[in-house]
Amino acid sequence: MGKLFGTDGVRGVVGFDLTPEFALRLGRAIGGFFGRGSRVLVGRDVRAGGDIVAGALVAGLLSEGVKVYYAGLTPTPAIQYVVKNEFYDGGVMITASHNPPEYNGVKVIAGDGIEVPREDEVKIEELYFKGHGSSLEWRSLAEPPEGVTGVVEKYVKAIVDQVDVDSIAKRGFKVVVDCANSVTALTTPLLLRKLNVRVVSINCHLDPLFPGREPEPRPDTLVDAATLVVSSRADLGVGHDGDGDRAILIDDMGRIHWGDRSGALLAAYASTKWKSFPRRVYTGVSSSVVVEDYLKPYGVEVVWTPVGSVTIARMMKSEGGAIAGFEENGGYMHVPHQYVRDGAMKLALFLEVMSSYGVKSSSLFSKLPEYHTIKTKVKASREEALCAIELLKERFSGFRMVTIDGVKVFGGDFWVLVRPSGTEPVIRIMGEASRKERIEEVVAEVKNIISLCLRGGGL
4 is a domain residue: no
Number of domains in the chain: 4
List of residues 6+ apart from 171 with CB closer than 8 A: 235, 351, 354, 355
Report yes or no: 229 and 223 within 8 Å, Cβ to Cβ: no
Q: From residue 285, how far is each of 9, 88, 288, 304, 419 by CA, in Å?
A: 20, 33, 8, 6, 9
List of residues 6+ apart from 163 with CB closer than 8 A: 195, 348, 349, 351, 352
Per-residue pLDDT, 85: 97
The verdict on 238 and 112 lying in the same domain is: no
Residue 57 CB burial class (10 angstroms; 0-12, 13-18, ≥19): buried
- Please tell me the distance from the alpha carbon of residue 415 to that of residue 442, in angstroms, as a whole number: 9
- Please tell me the distance from the alpha carbon of residue 225 to that of residue 236, in angstroms, as a whole number: 10
377 is a domain residue: yes
The verdict on 136 and 173 lying in the same domain is: no
The verdict on 15 and 56 lying in the same domain is: yes
Characterise 458 by phi-psi region: left (phi > 0), alpha (psi -120 to 50), beta (else): left
1 is a domain residue: no
Does pLDDT of 339 surpass 80? yes
- Please tell me the distance from the alpha carbon of residue 399 to that of residue 395, in angstroms, as a whole number: 9
459 is a domain residue: no
The verdict on 269 and 248 lying in the same domain is: no
Per-residue pLDDT, 212: 97
Per-residue pLDDT, 260: 97
Report yes or no: 322 and 281 within 8 Å, Cβ to Cβ: yes
The verdict on 169 and 137 lying in the same domain is: no
Per-residue pLDDT, 421: 85
The verdict on 247 and 195 lying in the same domain is: yes
355 is a domain residue: no
Does pLDDT of 456 surpass 80? no
DSSP code of residue 5: -
Average pLDDT in the 338-358 region? 98
Mean of pLDDT over the chain: 95
The verdict on 140 and 160 lying in the same domain is: no
Per-residue pLDDT, 422: 73
The verdict on 51 and 134 lying in the same domain is: yes
Q: Which of 98, 127, 149 is the last residue of a domain?
A: 149
Return the closest-CA partner of residue 330 out of 418, 255, 258: 258
Instruction: Report phi then psi at 123, rounded to 5.
Output: -65, -40
- Please tell me the distance from the alpha carbon of residue 1 to that of residue 374, in angstroms, as a whole number: 37
Return the closest-CA partner of residue 263 out of 405, 410, 364: 364
The verdict on 235 and 273 lying in the same domain is: no
Instruction: Report phi then psi at 449, rounded to 5.
Output: -65, -40
Report yes or no: 223 and 237 within 8 Å, Cβ to Cβ: no
The verdict on 15 and 143 lying in the same domain is: yes
Half-sphere exposure for 385 (CA within 13 Å, toward CB): 21
User: 306 is in which domain, residue-wise?
Assistant: 259-344+361-366
The pLDDT confidence band at residue 455, using thresholds 50, 70 and 90, is low
Per-residue pLDDT, 140: 80
CATH (domain of 204): 3.40.120.10
The verdict on 265 and 135 lying in the same domain is: no
DSSP code of residue 287: S
Return the closest-CA partner of residue 72 out of 52, 107, 105, 45: 45
Dump pLDDT digits (tens) for 8-59.
999 999 999 999 999 999 999 999 999 999 999 999 999 999 999 999 999 9
Report yes or no: 222 and 239 within 8 Å, Cβ to Cβ: yes
Return the closest-CA partner of residue 236 out of 328, 172, 170, 174: 174
Average pLDDT in the 125-148 region? 90
349 is a domain residue: no
CATH (domain of 427): 3.30.310.50
Tell me the residue length of the chain: 459
The verdict on 19 and 135 lying in the same domain is: yes
Q: Which residues of 255-272 are buried (b: 16+ CB within 10 A; e: fewer)?
A: bbbbbbbbbbbbbbbbbe
Does pLDDT of 76 surpass 90? yes
Report yes or no: 45 and 75 within 8 Å, Cβ to Cβ: yes
- Please tell me the distance from the alpha carbon of residue 77 to that of residue 191, in angstroms, as a whole number: 14
Least confident of 133-147, 278-292, 373-387: 133-147
Dump pLDDT digits (tens) for 217-261.
999 999 999 999 999 999 999 999 999 999 999 999 999 999 999
Does pLDDT of 345 surpass 50? yes
Per-residue pLDDT, 1: 64
Indicate the pairing of strand 372-379 with strand 324-326: unpaired
User: Any catalytic annotation for residue 97?
Assistant: yes
The rounded Cα 454 to chain-centroid distance in angstroms is 32
Number of H helices, E strands in the chain: 15, 20
| 3-class DSSP assignment, residue 347 | helix
Does pLDDT of 458 surpass 50? no
Average pLDDT in the 141-161 region? 94
- Please tell me the distance from the alpha carbon of residue 96 to that of residue 12, in angstroms, as a whole number: 8
162 is a domain residue: yes
* Count of CB atoms situated within 10 Å of the CB of 275: 9
Q: Which of 118, 133, 149 is the last residue of a domain?
A: 149
- Please tell me the distance from the alpha carbon of residue 109 to that of residue 84, in angstroms, as a whole number: 9
Average pLDDT in the 50-78 region? 97
- Which one of 63, 97, 262, 271 is the catalytic residue? 97
226 is a domain residue: yes
Q: Which of 127, 149, 171 is the last residue of a domain?
A: 149
- Please tell me the distance from the alpha carbon of residue 326 to that of residue 257, in angstroms, as a whole number: 14
First to last CA, the chain: 29
- Please tell me the distance from the alpha carbon of residue 5 to that of residue 10, in angstroms, as a whole number: 5
